[in-house]
Amino acid sequence: MDNYNIAIVGAMGAVGKELQKILIERQFPIKSIKLLGTATNKGREVKFKDEILYTEEVCKEAFKDIDIAFFCLEAEISKSLAPIAIGEGAVVIDNSSAFRMDNDIPLVVPEVNPESLRNHKGLIANPNCTTIQMLVPLKPIHDKYKIKRVVVSTYQSVSGTGKNAIDELNEQARDYVDHKEIKHSVYPYQILFNALPHIDGFLDTGYTKEEMKMINETHKILDKNIKVVPTTVRIPVFRGHSESVNIETELPFNIDDIKELLGKSPGITVLDKPEEKLYPMPIFSEGSSDVFVGRIRRDFTIENGLNMWIVADNLRKGAALNAVQIAESLIEQDLV
């Protein structure tokens, strides 16, 4: 197998750091690695395997000789840097929302639609974290039973917002213990002991942008005919997103067959022993590469109705791991 020259843009952020760990864990075939970021982070010392690396400022010519560039940046920055990287010969795997709904750019979950990579033009988009973890178990069910409709409520950790949100939840917990005033700046209300049914901006329809991502990305990745109704909620958990998913299929199914199907599918751990109080939770998913599925049960109010509880580490499968798996799939298909 060939080795590849890799760049991580936004290497000092939460996803960038997680990506470095995963590249090492999965023994990704690296010839060289370059850690890129802002001028503020230039010269930061990072240990990668047995090497000491120093972060560099991202600029023109930074991508020369780079084969694969992982972008862990805000959308507007990705929009300005991606054309530069592609022009200098790199294949860009972008974690932001900048390019996800562009018809000419593949939006990929490797367990779901790896064939979409075949027509890439130097840029692949990584889907939203909530979409990724939902579609991994939906794919085998859809292939066998044809999903008609999905109603999903998400319970998303603060790490999905970033380091500032993690710090704010920590500070609010300390202030509560110390009987101090609980302050907030990242979210419109305190997140400690709270649940905010508000992720990203509201649209005229009453849905949020986060909710529309789940609808639009499901249509692009899996099937445009599936009806999707989401409600996204932020909760005071540091890491790991949870989802309550109600599914209606066209074809009848047996619950035991669903469990067996999911258990045999790649990237899924079925944790469904309610009699032993075993079900997916964020504390189980942290650091794991799999999507956990449990509380698998029939919805008796509709024909062919199914309920599931889905949990995954949003920084891993919801971002960094999925990006690395995209790169691995590119290599497997000889598309780099």
**Which residue among 59, 129, 142, 184 is the active-site one?**
129
* Single-letter residue type at 139: K
Question: How far, in Å, CA of 66 to CA of 54, rounded?
Answer: 17
Strand order in the sheet with 4-9: 56-57, 30-37, 4-9, 68-71, 91-94, 123-125
> Which amino acid type is present at position 98?
A
d(CA 74, CA 8): 14
The token pair at 74 is 């805000």
Beta bridge pairs of residue 244:
153, 309
Contacts of 221 (CB under 8 A, 6+ apart): 107, 108, 109, 112, 113, 116, 127, 131, 135
Inter-axis angle of helices 14-25 and 321-332, to 10 degrees? 50
Cβ within 8 Å of residue 245, ≥6 positions away: 134, 138, 150, 151, 152, 307, 308, 309, 310
Tell me 119's DSSP state: G
Q: Interhelix angle for 129-145 vs 209-221, to 10°?
A: 40
Burial of 176 (0-12, 13-18, 19+ CB in 10 A): middle
Site of tokens 């054309």: 83
Q: Residue 83's CB: how many other CB atoms inside 10 A?
A: 12
Task: Respond yes or no: is residue 72 known to be catalytic.
Answer: no
Q: Which of 16, 7, 12 is nearest to 40 (CA)?
A: 12
Active site residue 241: yes
Per the residue annotation, which of 72, 120, 142, 241 is the catalytic one? 241
List the catalytic residues: 129, 241
